[in-house]
A = this chain, B = another copy of it.
Amino acid sequence: MNIGEIAKRSGVSRSTVSYALSGKRPVSENTRRRIQAVIDELGYRPNATAKALKEGRTRTIGLVIPPASQRLTEMQLGFVASVVDAAARADLDVLLSPSGGEHDRSFERVVGGRRVDGVILMEIRLEDDRVTRLRQSGLPFVGIGRTSRPDEMSWVDIDYETLISQCVHHLADLGHRRIALVNRSTELMAAGYGPAHRAQAGFDQAVAERGLEGVRTCCADDARAGVSCVARLLADHPDLTAIATINETAMPGMYRAIERAGLTVPRDFSIAGVAGRHWAENLHPPLTAADVPADELGAQAVDLLIRQISDPAAPHRGALVSPPISLRGTTGPAPAR
């Protein structure tokens, strides 16, 4: 079923059908109706592939996610959801590309084959091959996250450095002197994952500014790791009274370890972090945290991308988001010892 068939059955030329559909040229009411009748009868829909080839754009954006096998964090899911939603609102489809490993067929298909008009890149590292590849490809792209040279691209990002610093200052204000940072996994750290490094930098700086005793530790992205990580932390540093963290997924486990150590939050121990609002609220007790507006970030990324697509020559833009910390009751005065 193609436009030629419709034309034949309506007794007009293909271009007339095309124009009747697009409205880019006046078509007499009479023929328009005749054409529409045939279209309705046969259930004709223009072939999107042919249209894309002709117009030179696919009306599709690529969303590069971490390999699905390694379960996505709540926040990453929030990004995916909001990107998909925002794209749908703009009548754009989303092509998913699970990437992140280096030798990557899916990524190369999407980017090299020009299957999309632009790309949104998640989980960016400080040095990221995919950014290099996208830059050379000339395809518009926006990062959720940024490399160590943010000027080279458009991006939206969470200001982990500032946020963790603020958490530490908040805890210091409450009298805590010995604070631990529970970061993301050692692997991500080693891979140069931006948020992990920036959180650490913010932590180090705040600890130095306030003359605190800071302990840094990495923790895998799951509840079980959270348990063992915090258990070890409490064993090794018995005088620890607070934790700052960006590791959403490990949080339930961290709670559990604190509880098992016989400590009550926030009376004996405080905890503050960075997490999606929904996640922070649903912890038990709800976590004092900087609420990352995942939906806004995704929408903003789509927005920036659409802008880049419509004007590829436009200068890069970056948007650093640092939401306020919502007090929810997991932080309190440092216990007297």
Contacts and interface: CB of A to CB of B under 8 A. Distances in A.
Interface of A: 43, 45-53, 58, 60, 63, 65, 67-69, 71-72, 77, 80-82, 84-85, 88, 91, 93-98, 105-106, 108-110, 112-115, 136, 222-224, 252, 256, 278, 282, 284
Contacts of A67: 85
Contacts of A68: 80-82, 84-85
A81 B72 contact: yes
A113 to B, nearest CB: 3
A256 B278 contact: no
A252 B45 CA distance: 46
A49 B52 contact: yes
A65 B109 CA distance: 23
A310 to B, nearest CB: 19
A91 to B, nearest CB: 6
Contacts of A47: 53, 113-114
Given A58-B49, A252-B284, A93 B110 contact: yes
Contacts of A58: 49
B109 A93 contact: yes
A110 B316 CA distance: 31
Given A46-B113, A47-B113, A114-B45, A69 B93 contact: no
A77 B48 CA distance: 28
A201 B47 CA distance: 43
A67 to B, nearest CB: 7
A72 to B, nearest CB: 7
A65 B60 CA distance: 17
A97 B88 CA distance: 8
Contact of A45 (B43, B85, B112): B112
A82 B72 CA distance: 12
Nearest to A112: B45
Given A71-B77, A85-B98, 18 more contacts: A43-B136, A48-B114, A48-B115, A49-B115, A50-B53, A51-B113, A67-B85, A68-B81, A69-B85, A71-B278, A84-B98, A88-B105, A88-B106, A94-B95, A94-B96, A95-B95, A96-B96, A224-B282
Nearest to A295: B69
Given A48-B114, A77-B72, A93 B96 contact: yes
